[in-house]
Structure 1
Amino acid sequence: MTSRFLPYATTPGRLTAQLISDLLAAAWITIWVMVGLGVHRAIAEIATVGTQVKDGATGISDNLSSAGDSADRIPLVGDAVSTPLRAASEAALDLAGAGQNLNTTATWLAILLAIAVAAPPILAIGMPWLFLRIRFFRRKWTVIALAQTPAGEQLLALRALANRPLRRLTEVNEDPVGAWRRQDPHAVRGLAALELRSAGVARVTSVR
């Protein structure tokens, strides 16, 4: 985990916390994806009914239409017999259209309801997690880049003087401000290391 291109800390405690947060976020997202898929499957059953209605009504319509064609050939009464059969065939076609509409509507409803159920809780956790991870990665990238130059290391040391607890500063040097002003290499490196650790970076191997 030492690469600056990885969005993870190199300090053990923070790295552990990040890995645990990743696992929790992944588990949360997985749970709600499964819930969304369950909702989709439940609503999709209605679409299956619509398909069955369409297929059945289409078959009945075809049979009635064939019967009408056959009845039309009956002498004298053929027209009288075929007319109601053809009317029934058209009614069956209307029913088939209704089944197709039910299938289409239920299919889209299944998708929309699955998204409506799963998306809010996923976004509620996923977006803050992603924001914090991106912010951490940008800070890690910046402090590592600064630590590669003497001037950048001094800037990190100055930030440590402004932001780190006094106890931590005095552990580096009894007079941390004076040591920084004198550009004491050991003190500057120690103060910069405090700022690096606060950003989740254990150490930077070289300074140009």
Structure 2
Amino acid sequence: MKFYADRLPTAVRQLVTDILVVVWVYLWIRVALWVRDVVQKLAVPGQKLESAGSGIADNLADAGGKVGRVPLVGDQLTKPFNGAADAARSIADAGHQQQELVDQLALILPLMALAVPLALVLFLWLPLRIRWIRRASVALAVRDEPAGKDLLALRALASRPLSELARLGPDIAQSWRAGDAAAVEALAELELKRLGLRRGRS
């Protein structure tokens, strides 16, 4: 497998791009973690609400239990305490639900923050990088063989701009069809140069 070009400008460009992509992904991961931390702070009021509601409910239930021991009217006096305790438990439940909502947001929002940057990497940069690696690896495998040079020359004829081909001579296509070794070599060199690779042994 060929991961980087032989020619310095192409290799430097690839290396810089790879480093920038890694830094880009790292920064977005840090942003996602920061978003998660900020969102999780929203759970603090819910925690306090749940704690306060539970504490009040326990105290009211305890007070209701003590008042319930009063002879004759104990049952009547207990009802307000029980009602207030139920209301306090509802407040505690609301605090708990708010914490659950915050926990869900702390998961969803960071994923949303990461989705677009990672999609750009996975669907734009990575396919281009893999395609170059495959093409360069195949080119390296065939560049030293006569048939391989002919394939590289054909690829150059099919894909290089006319201005580049014309610089090799006005009859470069005819020379290639005739099997001219110099024309095949020049065209193969053109394709290798496009990939950032050096020519193999002659």
- Matched position secondary structure for 2:43: helix
Task: Report the TM-score, using the length of structure 2 for normalisation.
Answer: 0.80
Residue 57, structure 1, aligned to residue 53, structure 2: yes
Of 92, 95, 108, which aligns to 1:96? 92
- What is the distance in 1 between the residues matched to 2:188 and 2:86? 83
1:157-196 aligned at under 5 Å gives the runs 157-164=153-160, 165-166=164-165, 169=168, 177-178=174-175, 181-182=178-179, 184=181, 188-196=184-192
Residue 48, structure 1, aligned to residue 48, structure 2: no
Shift of 1:167: 6.3
Match of 2:31 in 1: 35
Greater mean deviation of Cα atoms: 7-16 or 157-166: 157-166
**Contact 2:153 2:191 (C-alpha < 8 Å) held by counterparts:** yes
- 1:98-147 deviation per Cα after TM superposition (whole angstroms, max 9, x unaligned): 11110111121233223333433453465321222122122223323333
- Matched position secondary structure for 1:73: coil
Distance 1:169 1:90, change over 3 A: same
- What is the distance in 2 between the residues matched to 1:13 and 1:45? 48
Task: Report the TM-score, using the length of structure 1 for normalisation.
Answer: 0.78
Question: For residue 166 of structure 1, what is the amino acid of its counterpart?
Answer: L
Gaps of 5+ in 1: none
What is the root-mean-square deviation of aligned Cα atoms in Å? 2.9
Shift of 1:204: 4.4
**Contact 1:46 1:106 (C-alpha < 8 Å) held by counterparts:** yes
Shift of 1:183: 5.1
Gaps of 5+ in 2: none
Identity of paired residues, percent?
Answer: 36
* Equivalent pairs, count: 198
